[in-house]
Amino acid sequence: MAISRDEVVHVARLARLALTDEELDRFAGQLDAILEAVGKVAELDLSGVEPTLHPLALSNVWAEDEPRPSLPVEDALANAPAPEDGAFRVPAG
Amino acid sequence: MSWEPVIGLEIHVHLKTRTKMFCRCEVAYFDPPNTHTCPVCLAFPGALPVPNRQAVEWTILLGHALGCQVPERAIFHRKNYFYPDNPKGYQISQYDQPLCVNGSFEVPGADGDRVVGIERAHLEEDAAKTIHRGGAEGRIHGADHSLVDFNRSGTPLVEIVTKPDIRSPEEAKAFLQLLRQTVVELGISDAEMEKGSLRFDVNVSVRPKGSDELRTRTELKNMNSFNFAAKGIEREMRRQIEIYESGGQVDQETLHFDPNNESAPPLRSKEEAQDYRYFPEPDLVPLEPAAELVERLRGDLPELPSARVRRLESEVGFVLAEGLVTSGRDELYSRIPGERAGVANVVMNELAAIGLDPSAVNAEELGKVIAARGEIPRGAFAEALAESASPGFSADRYLAEAAIADVGELDPVIDRILSANESQVEAYRGGKEGLLGFFVGQVMKETGGKANPKIVNERLREKLRG
Amino acid sequence: MIDTLRLTAEEASGLVERGEVSGAELHRAYLDAIAERDPELHAYLHTVDEPEGDGVPIALKDVISTRGVETTAASKILEGYKPVYDATVAERCKSAGLPLLGKTNLDEFAMGSSTENSAYGPTRNPWDPTRVPGGSSGGSTAAVAAGLAPWALGSDTGGSIKQPAALCGVVGLRPTYGTVSRYGIVAFASSLDQVGPIAKNVRDCALLHRIVAGRDPLDSTTVELPQPIEVPEAEDLKGLRVGVPRELNEADGIEPGVSEVANRTIELCRELGAEVGECSLPRSVEFGLPCYYLIAPSEASSNLARYDGVRYGLRVENGDVRTMYERTRDAGFGDEPKRRIMLGTYALSAGYYDAYYGQAQKVRTVIRDEHAAAFERFDVLVSPTSPTVAFELGARTENPLAMYAADLLTIPSNMAGLPGLSIPCGLSEGLPVGFQLIGPQFSENVLFRAGHALERAIGFDVVPERLK
């Protein structure tokens, strides 16, 4: 078994997904099958191989410390579910 | 059993760049909420980060000041966690390939230097600001809801992690003061705790003195001044020692102090070890600082505070040297000519109390006044100090009021006073030595306060001896 | 009368330039076609009535942020979200005078190979509405195939432009990674996502690619094009060395009908003067899918963490902040994003990173090196784009692994950041077959040249039979 139902429960919590029991059962089976399949990468002995972090061999891309216009507050909050006093309201932690 | 503390520090410093770390919004987090934001620092769908070159250079500069190596290649990592002040759901930070590693920072002490190892200094972005509403005085406990302001989100932060080489609360405080001083002098941060541009956490454990074991440590958070830190560390040390001495075990915990109340016991939480699922940031390419850049930045280092403390120590002793450097007054001190200890004392004591702008002080002229301190009246000296930063300040005016020290001038005055007060002279010679003050007073009155008190004293005594 | 089913973007542009048709008329012709055929096909999620610009109208996949126009990534979690800024590619289209026709349907968050994962209902294949158009850019390819847009932009992570282009019988380019800006593109997998052109022919693709490609200072992973994009003219393949990777062409799961058409096309390459030879990508095909389905979900699990109900999009508020997060994300994400988020979270988690994500990043190096070795002997590698023609709606929705297999042939070159062009090369069972041309980094001009020459020789009619 590549991943148990308990591990799926744990992962769902880590990912902030409130899954129903039905979802957990369904996903657990599917994720197990998928992980089994992708786990195939372990078959290769790649101890001497460097990981590819980027498809292009780029480095040192940055910008000068010059300000650009920020969004007007209305735009920043335009899609906010709960704007309040110019800020984003959220329930208490 | 004798115990010693094992202390490490984690310090966060805001870089005072004009723009944020990964976008070009201005850094202005005291402005009205969300007035300095953009799709990037608000983490709108599709937004991408672009690093601030100035922030990278200043971090390397700081690395040099901390004696660090700058590896050929550094990368950014994503640190994944969910919190409303973390809009992307991850913070762009650095993990196992930071910009600066393996340094050391010397903290001069009265009994020699403590060398504190520096694990790393890396670059990351700050979170947004959350204001809690509905609870008691804006505190998180009992809050009804919170408001998130993203002006601060994305501000460049350098995180400095020390090795656990600090061995006392005072040393921790000295380290923090010196680090703060260094960062300010490099011009890369204002490092003010009250404004949140310098924050730190402390890791504390204890062990039997002389052993090299590393026991369980606790993390202290939210202490908002260096003094508070020293006291907090002290208390935590005692708490841990008591536990061990009564046969118990110290639990790994985080202690959240109340930043407004030093004496309140901290809240303890066994926070779940967070799995941040670090992985290299795919939206950013590696940093490979050119050797010429790294060397140029090394050359840009001014003489650092710790080096200046040691240099001045030979001139004025440790206490004055440390005081001068950490109060930012050693540059002024160095400019004022004259006998070193005397100058140092004036700068640290009288001048400090006046609160002048050190860069405006006319050091040459002030040096002359200090040199003549014994000869001019106290009032004139104080006035001279107060004026020393005013344009056109000149010592001459005050030196002209130098007390009359010429015996040839004073003796006739003294003789006159003595002859005019024969009964007091007899009384003095008969044992009433307190009358010396009376004679001195008379001479001072006669000379309009300008006689050199020391010389008057000497001459009177001699003449009264008969 | 404007025949939107046949009209290419280049032709449309000519009509407007010569004054034969106004920009507004052109726009209206497409809106009329959409009104007529889109209720059945559902290629579009939203259309824009007022054209802004006189040029050739364009459809944009709904992962592309368009200021003031709803952008949902086909997810409920972004229902009603209207960006306050334009993606760089959207801005470049605007600057070129291309009016926005509308936002096209896709698999939710670009995760899928059939457009059935859209939270707003699937798109149907214009060649056979009981079948899928492919995915994730199925809306864009269906729109072009059905004459509902002269051209479109899609996005490709594991093959999401190439595969639906193949299934819909149109041309699609997945550009070299880093040549088109991702700024403003709803992110799926950052080291793989690329935006590319979809059109009826190769020349149109080249013209559109020229408009959007090039370094963007707002995207640190982009570079300047080493050479300008050339719109192809040549109709032969003289001097071209064409490689046929065994593993891509003989993989398990390739339908015989697809193989047959692809092989005929390989023959055609020879006839057109190319030097054709066999080569091998020993591990790229076998390990491509597992590698992709570790890296892409890992990056996605992190890219989708921002959908939390705080600043935009859906919010389900009931209790404390943590509950809000959990309920919002549960209600807002469909099954496939949930699966991939969990997969990715797991692959990155403490104790599993080295075996899964870390290992996959090394496999990526192997794939890159194998392709580089092949390109020492060949200019272009070819294969079918998709193992099958369009499958039926619902045929693979219960089996994620079966769905993932649709990307078998497009994924390997994607892992190496290489460009790939898919051109329709024939029909099998009455449904389009796509031919994939893969080149080294920055070889788009070679791909366009080869694709155009083949296209002219094949003479594939892009208009679906049933719509004629």
Q: Count Cβ neighbours within 10 Å for each residue of B206-225 and write b for 16 or more, e otherwise.
A: bbeeeeeeeeebbbbbbbbe
The CA distance from A70 to C240, in Å, is 50
Cβ distance A67 to B19 less than 8 Å, yes or no, reads yes
Tell whether the model's pLDDT for residue B463 goes beyond 80. yes
- Confidence band (pLDDT; 50, 70, 90) for C244? very high
Tell whether the model's pLDDT for residue C211 goes beyond 60. yes
Q: Scanning every residue of chain B, which has its alpha carbon at the shortest distance from the alpha carbon of C186?
A: B46
pLDDT of C323: 96
pLDDT of B138: 54
* Mean of all residue pLDDT scores within chain B: 91
pLDDT of B139: 56
- Confidence band (pLDDT; 50, 70, 90) for B327? confident
Strand arrangement, sheet containing B100-109 = B100-109, B112-125, B156-162, B3-14, B198-208, B218-221, B254-256, B267-269
C416 or B378, greater pLDDT: C416
- Confidence band (pLDDT; 50, 70, 90) for C208? very high
Look at residues C381, C386, C382 and name the one whose alpha carbon lies nearest to residue C432. C386
Do strands C275-279 and C194-199 pair parallel, antiparallel, or not at all (unpaired)? unpaired
Most confident of B10-19, B102-111, B213-222, B365-374: B10-19
Q: C-chain residues within 8 Å CB-CB of B45?
A: 65, 71, 73, 78, 81, 83, 186-187, 306, 312
Q: B-chain residues within 8 Å CB-CB of C357?
A: 279
Q: Count Cβ neighbours within 10 Å for each residue of C454-465 and write b for 16 or more, e otherwise.
A: bbebbebebbbe
Tell whether the model's pLDDT for residue C274 goes beyond 80. yes
Tell whether the model's pLDDT for residue B272 goes beyond 80. no
Tell whether the model's pLDDT for residue B406 goes beyond 90. no
pLDDT of B355: 79
Q: Are C321 and A93 in contact (CB under 8 A)?
A: yes
Q: What is the pLDDT of residues A49-80, one digit of tens each?
A: 999 989 999 999 999 999 999 999 999 999 99
pLDDT of C262: 98
Strand arrangement, sheet containing B77-80 = B90-93, B77-80, B279-280
Q: Verify whether residue C160 is a known catalytic residue.
A: yes
To 5 degrees, how large is the angle CA C377–CA C178–CA C155? 100
The CA distance from C452 to C454, in Å, is 5
Look at residues B36, B45, B90 and name the one whose alpha carbon lies nearest to residue B275. B90
User: How far is CA B464 from each of CA A54, B437, B460, C455, rounded to the nearest angstrom?
Assistant: 96, 13, 6, 126
Over residues C80-92, mean pLDDT: 98
- Would you put residue A77 in left (φ > 0), alpha (ψ -120 to 50) or beta? alpha
What's the gap in Å between the CA of A30 and the closest CA on chain C?
7
Among candidate residues C160, C284, C301, C413, the one labeled active-site is C160
The CA distance from B10 to C285, in Å, is 47
Q: Scanning every residue of chain C, which has its alpha carbon at the shortest distance from the alpha carbon of B34?
A: C311
Q: A-chain residues within 8 Å CB-CB of B146?
A: 89-93
Other Cβ atoms less than 10 A from the Cβ of B447: the count is 16
Cβ distance A49 to C365 less than 8 Å, yes or no, reads yes
Q: Could you tell me if A81 lies within 8 Å of chain B, comparing CB atoms?
A: no
pLDDT of B415: 92
Q: Count Cβ neighbours within 10 Å for each residue of C277-299 and write b for 16 or more, e otherwise.
A: eebbbebbbbbbbbbbbbbbbbb
Helix (H, G, I), strand (E, B) or coil at C29: helix
Cβ distance C183 to B48 less than 8 Å, yes or no, reads yes
Probe site for chain A from B30, B97, B285 (most A CB atoms < 10 A)? B285
Q: Verify whether residue C386 is a known catalytic residue.
A: no
DSSP-derived secondary structure for B37-60:
--TTTTT-TT-----BHHHHHHHH
Q: What is the pLDDT of residues B64-117, one digit of tens each?
A: 999 999 999 999 999 999 999 999 999 999 999 999 999 999 998 888 888 999
Location of structure tokens 């939270």: C119
Tell whether the model's pLDDT for residue C58 goes beyond 60. yes
pLDDT of B122: 98
Tell whether the model's pLDDT for residue C431 goes beyond 90. yes
Neighbouring-strand partners of residue B5: B206
pLDDT of B445: 87
DSSP-derived secondary structure for A38-82:
HGGGGGS--TTPPP---SS------B-S---PPPPHHHHHTT-SS
Other Cβ atoms less than 10 A from the Cβ of C240: the count is 20
The CA distance from B4 to B163, in Å, is 16
pLDDT of B374: 77
Cβ distance A18 to C321 less than 8 Å, yes or no, reads no
pLDDT of B135: 65
Neighbouring chains of B at 3+ CB pairs under 8 Å are A, C
Q: What is the pLDDT of residues C180-199, one digit of tens each?
A: 999 999 999 999 999 999 99
Strand arrangement, sheet containing C171-174 = C44-47, C100-104, C58-61, C151-156, C194-199, C171-174, C420-428, C431-438, C380-384, C241-245, C275-279
The CA distance from C276 to C270, in Å, is 6
Q: What is the pLDDT of residues C286-326, one digit of tens each?
A: 999 999 999 999 999 999 999 999 999 999 998 999 999 99
Cβ distance B45 to C73 less than 8 Å, yes or no, reads yes
Cβ distance C350 to B90 less than 8 Å, yes or no, reads no
Share of chain C above pLDDT 70, in %: 100
Please identify among residues 289-328 of chain B the ones whose CB lies closer than 8 Å to any CB of chain A.
289-290
What's the gap in Å between the CA of B270 and the closest CA on chain C?
19
Helix (H, G, I), strand (E, B) or coil at C346: helix
Tell whether the model's pLDDT for residue B162 goes beyond 90. yes
Among candidate residues C61, C94, C103, C200, the one labeled active-site is C61
Cβ distance A38 to C329 less than 8 Å, yes or no, reads no
* Mean of all residue pLDDT scores within chain C: 97
Over residues C259-271, mean pLDDT: 98
pTM of the model: 0.91
Q: Scanning every residue of chain B, which has its alpha carbon at the shortest distance from the alpha carbon of C296?
A: B282
pLDDT of B403: 66
The CA distance from C365 to C345, in Å, is 22
Of B48-52, B93-97, B266-270, C272-276, minimum mean pLDDT range: B266-270
What's the gap in Å between the CA of C266 and the closest CA on chain A?
29
What's the gap in Å between the CA of C308 and the closest CA on chain B?
8
Dihedral sign from CA coordinates of B69, B74, B79, B84: positive
Q: Are B360 and B330 in contact (CB under 8 A)?
A: no
| Of A63, A73, A92, Cβ closest to residue B53 | A63
The CA distance from C119 to C175, in Å, is 28
Torsion of CA C355, C357, C363, C364, to 10 degrees: -170
Please identify among residues 33-62 of chain A the ones whose CB lies closer than 8 Å to any CB of chain C.
33-35, 37-42, 44, 46, 49-56, 58, 61-62
